[in-house]
Structure 1
Amino acid sequence: MKKEKSFTEKTSASDTSIGFDYQYYYFLLRILSLGIGQSVGLEIKDDVHTELNADLNILYQVKHTIQKNAAGASASLTELDADLWKTLYNWTQIISDKVDGREEIPAQIKFVEKTEFHLVSNKSHSKSNTFLKLVIELHSNVGSFESLFSHIDNLANKTQDADIKKYILAVAQLNLSVKKKFFENIRFELELDDIICRIKRSIREKIVDVEKIDAVFERLDSRIRSDNFLAVKNGKAIKIDFDEFATRYAKIFDDARTKKLVHHRFKSDLPQDIFTQRFIKRLLEIGAVTVTDEERAVEYTKFKLRISKNLDQWVQEGSLVSDDVEDFHEDVFLRWENEFQNSFRSCTNMAEIIDSAMDLLTMLRRERFRLSETDLDTKLSNGELYYLSDIGRIGWHRDWKNND
C-alpha cells in the first residue's frame, strides 16, 4: 500500500528544488560544450537553449524525477507521461507563437527547419513506450509518419486525463508539413542521472588534471551561480556565449593547468568558545583583539581553519607532499623568529612591549607567503600565522611563552 504523505511532505519544496538544480546543471553542461560563435541561455527560449553558428537553435526541456521503479532506478518515461506531453505541447506553442511572427504556416515551417527540440530527463527508457519507439524508428528511416500520427490519435482517445488529452490534441492538430518536420527534429536524452559526473568529464576534456577537477568544478559552479543571481537581480537574461565564457572563466582553467595551488573554499566548523583558542589568547595579550570583538575573533579563526584545511586538501590531492608542508611551516616560523629576536631590544616598560608586539604582528600580516610556486593570498598568509600561534610555535608578546 502506498504510504500517505503528511502535510509537511506534501508542501516540501525539495522536489521542486532538485528540478531547478538539475536544470541549472544541464545549463552548465551545455556551457562547457560551447564552440566559437555559439551561446547558451537559461529560461529564455526554453528551460535551456543553445544558438549555434549555423543558424540552428536547440531548445531543451529539462525534466527531473525523484520517483523510483521497483529496481531502484529512476521511473520510466511512459507514453502518456505528463512531462512528455506537456513538453511537446509547450513546443507547439513556441512554433505557432504569433507574438514572434509565426502565426502563418510558412513561418512555422521555417522555424522548425532551423530548430531541434530536445527532451532531457533522468527518467529511464521504457520498452512499453510505443510512442517513443515510433519516433526513434522514424529517425532511423525504418518507421513512417502515418504509423506515428495514427498512434498519437489513439493516445488522445485512450487517455482519461483532460490535461494530457489537451496536450496531445494540440500536437496532433499542427499543420501536417510542420508536424512532420517537428518530429524529425525531436530528440530524447533520457537516463541522464549522472549530470555532475558529465560536467566533471567535460572539465577533464579541457586538459585539466584529474586531481584538480573537483576544485575547478567548485569554483566554476560558485562563480556561475553568483553571476546568474546577479543577472536576474538586475533584470538581465541569463545567456552566455563562447567568447564571454572564455573571458570570464578561463582563469579558473588556467589556474588548474599550472603548477600553482588552487585555493579551495571550505565551510568552517567553528569551535564553541572562540576565545579559548591559544592563538586568540596570544592576540588578547597585546590588544590585537578584545573579548567584546567576537566578530573579528571569528574572522581570524576562519583564516586559521582555511589554511589548515587547504594544506590537508593539497596533500590529499597530490599537489603537495607532507615535506612541503613541513618546510612551509618552518620557513614562516624562521621569518617570525628573525623579527621577534629584534623586536623588544629597546623596550623599557610594558607599554613599549605591547607597541613592539603590535608592530611585529602588523608587519608579518602584510607578508604574502609563498608555497610551491604560489603566492598565498592575505587570508591564507595571515591564517598561517594564526595556525602556528595556535599550535604553540609563535607568539607576539615578549613573554608569550610564560603565559601559555
Structure 2
Amino acid sequence: MTTSTGAANSQTTPGTTSFTESVSAADTSIGFEYQYYYYLDRLINLRTGESAGLEVKDDVHTDLADGFCILVQLKHTVKTNAAGSPIALAELSLDLWKTLYNWARIITDDTQQRDTVPEQLKFIGNTEFHLVTNKSQSKTNKFLETVIEFQDSKKTFTELRDAIEKLSTTNATLQSYIQTVLDLDDDVLAAFFKNIRFELELDDIIARVKKSIREKFIDDEMVDSVFERLDSNIRSENFKNVKAGAKLQLTFEEFWTNYKKYFSDGRSKKLQYTKYQHPLPANLFAQTFVKRLLEIGAITQTDIDKVTTYTLAKLRLVTNLERWRQQGRIVSDDIEALHDEVITRWENEFDLAFAGCGTEQEIITAALEMLRELRRANFLLDGTQLPIELSNGELYHLSDLVQIGWHKDWRQK
C-alpha cells in the first residue's frame, strides 16, 4: 500500500511546506486507513467458503471458494489537481509501476516454487490482480488505454509489449520496475496483463463500506450504528492479532460467527446504544450534577476517575437520545416521557427519603440511600430498557438540568 505525499526533497524556501510536514503521519495514516476500510468492505461481502486478508498475500486479498485468489494493491494520494480532486494516474506513475513490479515478483517467487513458466502460468490462471486507487482516470495515460484494449482483444500482445518498451524515463527506480515486468516470459506477461483490473477514483471508501452494510438489508437509519460497531470491534481484534503475531485474515464463517449480531441488531426494532468516546469538559467539577453529588459526599474533589465515568454516562445518554431521534427510532415525545417518568420516580423517593431526619448526617445518609436506590433502576424508553450506564446518565443529565437533586435542601444550595 502506498500513500503519495508529494514530497520531493528536504530543501524548503520561506512560505513553503517543510519536508517533515509533507511526509507527516497524517498523510501516511490516511493510506493505511484506506487499506483497512477496503479490507472491511471485503469482509462484509464474503460468501460461504471465502476468506479475506489484510497484508497477508498482498495489501488485501480474497480467496474464493473455488481456489481462485484476488490480490489487491491499494494506492492512495493526498495530492490534488486544480479542481481539488485527486490527481490522475499517469502512465509513468511510480504507484502504477511499483504495483506491477510487486506482482511480477509474486508471480516469479521461487520460494513458492514459481521459478518455471508452467508454474507461473498456473498461478496466473488462478489469480486476478486488482489495482485500486483514488487517483482519477487520465486521458493522456495511453499505456492504460492500451492494456484495456489488449484485454478486449482490440490490440495484440506485440502492440502491448511495444507500448511498454517505448515508455521513457530518467528515473532509475521507475526504469527498474518497468524492466522487471518486461523480463517476464512473453506467455506469462500476456496472461498477467489479461488478469489485471484497474479500479480508479475510489475516494470515499467509507461510503462504500456503508453501502455494503445497507445491502445486507439494514435500514438507512441503522447503517451508521452497524458501521461504528463493526469498525470499533474489528480494529480492536486486529490490534490483538497483530500483537499476538497472528495473521489478519478471516473466513466467511469466522466473520459471520463473530459479527453477525451487529447485523441482527441493525434489523431489530430494539434500540441499540453506542459507547461513544466523548471529549470531556475542561472542568469536570464545574458540572451541576457533580456539585449535587459533592453536597452529599457521594464523591470527593479527588475522585477524578469516578467523575469521568459519571460524565461519560451522561454524555452517552444525551448523544444516544439525539442519535435515535435523528434516525427516527424515537420522537421528542418519547424523550420527554422518559424524563417525566424518571422525575416522577425521583419525586416519590425524595418525598419519603427524609422522613424523621433531624441532623445533617441523617439527611446525608438518607440522600445517599435514595441515590443508591435510583442508580439500581433500568429506565424504559419507548418500551426499551436502558442499560444501567444510560439510566444513570439520565439521572446525571436531569440533575444538570436542575430537575432533580439529592440533598434535602438541594434547591437552596
Shorter-normalised TM range = over 0.9
The alpha-carbon deviation at position 11 of structure 1 amounts to 4.2
- Partner residue of 2:47 out of 35, 48, 61: 35
Kept after mapping to 2: 8 A contact 1:261/1:372: no
The alpha-carbon deviation at position 398 of structure 1 amounts to 2.5
Report whether the alignment pairs 1:184 with 2:204: no
Please name the residue that 2:336 is paired with: 326
Report whether the alignment pairs 1:130 with 2:142: yes
Report whether the alignment pairs 1:81 with 2:93: yes
> What does the per-residue CA deviation read over 1:14-41, in whole Å, with 9 as the maximum and x for residues that have no partner?
2211111111111111112111111110
| Matched letter for residue 25 of structure 1 | Y
Q: What is the CA–CA distance in structure 1 between the aligned matches of 2:152 and 2:236, rounded to whole Å?
A: 42
Kept after mapping to 2: 8 A contact 1:282/1:395: yes
Please name the residue that 1:359 is paired with: 369
Q: What is the CA–CA distance in structure 1 between the aligned matches of 2:84 and 2:19, rounded to whole Å?
A: 25
- Deviates further, 133-142 or 60-69: 133-142
- Deviates further, 5-14 or 127-136: 5-14
Q: What is the CA–CA distance in structure 2 between the aligned matches of 1:109 and 1:234, rounded to whole Å?
A: 36
Report whether the alignment pairs 1:278 with 2:301: no
Kept after mapping to 2: 8 A contact 1:85/1:168: yes
The alpha-carbon deviation at position 275 of structure 1 amounts to 2.1
> What does the per-residue CA deviation read over 1:349-380, in whole Å, with 9 as the maximum and x for residues that have no partner?
33232222212111211112221232222211
Alignment TM-score, normalising by the size of structure 2: 0.93
> What does the per-residue CA deviation read over 1:43-76, in whole Å, with 9 as the maximum and x for residues that have no partner?
0100000000011000000000111223322111
| Matched letter for residue 343 of structure 2 | F
Consecutive unaligned residues in structure 1, runs of 5 or more: none
Please name the residue that 1:194 is paired with: 204
- Deviates further, 179-188 or 55-64: 179-188
The alpha-carbon deviation at position 2 of structure 1 amounts to 13
Report whether the alignment pairs 1:310 with 2:320: yes
The alpha-carbon deviation at position 204 of structure 1 amounts to 1.0
Report whether the alignment pairs 1:44 with 2:56: yes
Kept after mapping to 2: 8 A contact 1:92/1:171: yes
The alpha-carbon deviation at position 9 of structure 1 amounts to 1.8
| Matched letter for residue 48 of structure 1 | V
Q: How does 1:386-397 map to 2 (within 5 A)?
A: 386-397=396-407
Q: What is the CA–CA distance in structure 2 between the aligned matches of 1:168 and 1:113, rounded to whole Å?
A: 22
Kept after mapping to 2: 8 A contact 1:46/1:61: yes
Kept after mapping to 2: 8 A contact 1:260/1:372: no
Kept after mapping to 2: 8 A contact 1:283/1:289: yes
The alpha-carbon deviation at position 313 of structure 1 amounts to 2.1
> What does the per-residue CA deviation read over 1:247-278, in whole Å, with 9 as the maximum and x for residues that have no partner?
11111111121112232343434333322322
The alpha-carbon deviation at position 320 of structure 1 amounts to 1.1
Report whether the alignment pairs 1:115 with 2:98: no
Please name the residue that 2:308 is paired with: 298
- Number of aligned residues: 401
- Partner residue of 1:66 out of 67, 78, 82: 78
> What does the per-residue CA deviation read over 1:213-248, in whole Å, with 9 as the maximum and x for residues that have no partner?
122222211111111111111111101111111111
> What does the per-residue CA deviation read over 1:301-338, in whole Å, with 9 as the maximum and x for residues that have no partner?
22112211221222222111110000011111122222
Kept after mapping to 2: 8 A contact 1:306/1:383: yes
Q: What is the CA–CA distance in structure 2 between the aligned matches of 1:43 and 1:7, rounded to whole Å?
A: 28
The SS at the match of 1:117 is strand
- Deviates further, 43-52 or 15-24: 15-24
| Matched letter for residue 17 of structure 2 | K
| Matched letter for residue 97 of structure 1 | D
Q: What is the CA–CA distance in structure 2 between the aligned matches of 1:2 and 1:183, rounded to whole Å?
A: 46
Q: What is the CA–CA distance in structure 1 between the aligned matches of 2:26 and 2:362, rounded to whole Å?
A: 60
Report whether the alignment pairs 1:266 with 2:266: no
Report whether the alignment pairs 1:147 with 2:131: no
Change (3 A) 1:272 1:130: closer
- Deviates further, 183-192 or 348-357: 348-357
Report whether the alignment pairs 1:166 with 2:153: no
Q: What is the CA–CA distance in structure 1 between the aligned matches of 2:14 and 2:94, rounded to whole Å?
A: 21
Q: What is the CA–CA distance in structure 2 between the aligned matches of 1:194 and 1:308, rounded to whole Å?
A: 29
Change (3 A) 1:10 1:66: closer
Q: What is the CA–CA distance in structure 2 between the aligned matches of 1:150 and 1:7, rounded to whole Å?
A: 38
- Deviates further, 246-255 or 85-94: 246-255
CA RMSD of superposed structures (Å): 1.8
| Matched letter for residue 126 of structure 2 | K
Kept after mapping to 2: 8 A contact 1:259/1:373: no
Kept after mapping to 2: 8 A contact 1:46/1:59: yes
> What does the per-residue CA deviation read over 1:59-108, in whole Å, with 9 as the maximum and x for residues that have no partner?
00000011122332211111111111110110011111111121222221
Consecutive unaligned residues in structure 2, runs of 5 or more: 1-12
Please name the residue that 1:25 is paired with: 37
Q: What is the CA–CA distance in structure 2 between the aligned matches of 1:71 and 1:358, rounded to whole Å?
A: 63
Report sequence identity in percent: 52
Please name the residue that 2:213 is paired with: 203
| Matched letter for residue 228 of structure 1 | N
The alpha-carbon deviation at position 386 of structure 1 amounts to 0.8
The SS at the match of 1:347 is coil
The alpha-carbon deviation at position 3 of structure 1 amounts to 7.6
Please name the residue that 2:9 is paired with: none
Q: What is the CA–CA distance in structure 1 between the aligned matches of 2:308 and 2:166, rounded to whole Å?
A: 67
- Partner residue of 1:243 out of 242, 245, 253: 253
